[in-house]
Amino acid sequence: MFILGHVGLTCGAVHAIDREADLRFVPIFALLPDLLDKPLDLLLPGFTNGWTRTIGHSLSASAVFSLVVFLWKRKKSWPWILAYGLHLALDRMWMRDTHTLFWPFQGFSFDVPWTDEQTLRHLLDPWVGGGEIAGLLVLVALFVRGRLWNARAKRAFLATGVLAKPSGRGPDLVS
Ligand SMILES: [Zn+2]
């Protein structure tokens, strides 16, 4: 899955669980495994062997990330922990090969090279395209739900990360 799928579906899930959840940094953590692994592939091509889903897409990285943000943010950490874990789920890291998911327990390095055929299959996967469309629709729904075209609602969202209440009686729209 790509940017819209990860960001949209993750923000939608967090908002569905808690309407008062702070959504501001959720997109960054929804994309963090990719933000770690794509540069790693550029910096250490001998290690990644063409794989753009490596250490950041493992349960080990997810566990370390979850522990660090929990110790830092405690009860407020759950949207970020969910965002990271949901990234692995939306990428369906258990499919095809579990070497990355269980890294480093099934071998430290990525010996089998990633092939162009795998890239093509990934790009043509309906899960990926469908996920992007679904993510876009969720983002539009959140934008409309929070009335983010309204300057006051937008300011309140940027300050708190919480979307305006759909009733219009939310504290952010009361003058
Ligand atoms: Zn990914």
Predicted confidence (pLDDT) per residue in 20-78, tens digit: 999 999 999 999 999 999 999 999 999 999 889 999 999 999 999 999 999 999 999 99
Above 70 in pLDDT, residue 118? Answer: yes
CA–CA separation, 153 vs 142, rounded Å? 12
Give me ligand 1 centre to Cα 101, in Å: 11
pLDDT of residue 86: 97
Average pLDDT over the chain, rounded to an integer: 91
The confidence band for 79, taking pLDDT boundaries of 50, 70 and 90, is: very high
Residue 175 C-alpha to ligand 1 middle, in angstroms?
A: 42
How many whole angstroms from 125 Cα to the centroid of ligand 1? Answer: 14
Ligand 1 mean position to 97 CA, how many Å?
14
> Which residues sit with Cβ closer than 5 angstroms to ligand 1, an ion?
33-34, 91
Distance CA 92, CA 69 (A): 23
**What does the pLDDT read at residue 174?**
45
Q: 55 with 31: CB under 8 angstroms?
A: no
Name the more confident of 28 and 174.
28
pLDDT at position 56 is 96
pTM: 0.89
Domain limits of the chain? 3-173
Structure tokens at 25: 């940094």
Q: What is the pLDDT of residue 172?
A: 52
* Distance in angstroms (rounded) separating the CA atoms of residues 112 and 85: 25
* Cα 152 to middle of ligand 1, angstroms: 34
Cα 91 to ligand 1 centroid, rounded to whole Å = 6
Q: Which of 71, 76, 86, 85 is nearest to 22 (CA)?
A: 76
**166 CA distance to ligand 1 centroid (A)?**
32
